[in-house]
Amino acid sequence: MTAELRALNARFIHNFITNDVAGHDAILHEDFICISPAGARVSRADYLADWEHGFDPARIPYFDYRDEKIDVFGDTALLRSTNRSVRLKDGVETVGMTMYTDVYVREDGAWKCIQAQITPVQPAHYPPDETIVKKYVKGVAQA
């Protein structure tokens, strides 16, 4: 069960890196909602519309996910992880981390993400590099 959810998390991130809207749509529950870092509720339709252009390797030359933690409670799972990114804007690099909590529900034997919540992480709470699960440089997965 945990292996299946780890694979879904990897797919979730891969869908982001590749701007794969159809692939991402397939793992979202029909009642999906996202809570943005600013606290806004983002509808499924708006979330997917943003997904198509969310990742640009020229603007985000480095991205990883780390510190993955999965807890299963019957047919509900909490999947938590942290992303580190380097972003370029007007030639200036900004490094930051956000933690996400994705809530999955199992219906008819399939796990679907019903909510994603993204929270900024302050430097004092950055998980160490030893917890990196996968990293991408200019949109390319690193071995």
What is the DSSP secondary-structure string of 101-115? Answer: EEEEEEETTEEEEEE
Give the span between the Cα atoms of 48 and 112, in whole angstroms. 15
CATH number for the domain including 75? 3.10.450.50
Mean of pLDDT over the chain: 96
Please give the pLDDT value at position 59.
Answer: 95
Is residue 22 a part of any domain in this protein?
Answer: yes
Is residue 143 a part of any domain in this protein?
Answer: no
| Domain that residue 109 falls in | 2-137
The predicted model gives 74-99 an average pLDDT of: 96
Is residue 8 a part of any domain in this protein?
Answer: yes
Using DSSP's 3-state secondary structure scheme, residue 126 falls into: coil
DSSP 75-87: TEEEEEEEEEEEE
Residue 33 CA to its chain's centroid (Å): 13
Is residue 18 a part of any domain in this protein?
Answer: yes
Please give the pLDDT value at position 1.
Answer: 72
Say yes or no to pLDDT of 143 above 80: no
Task: Please tell me the total count of domains within the chain.
Answer: 1
Is residue 90 a part of any domain in this protein?
Answer: yes
For the chain, strand residue ranges (E) read 28-35, 41-43, 62-73, 76-89, 92-107, 110-121, 132-137, 140-141
Is residue 79 a part of any domain in this protein?
Answer: yes
Is residue 19 a part of any domain in this protein?
Answer: yes
Is residue 142 a part of any domain in this protein?
Answer: no
How confident is the model over 28-84, as pLDDT tens digits?
999 999 999 999 999 999 999 998 888 999 999 999 999 999 999 999 999 999 999
Please give the pLDDT value at position 94.
Answer: 95
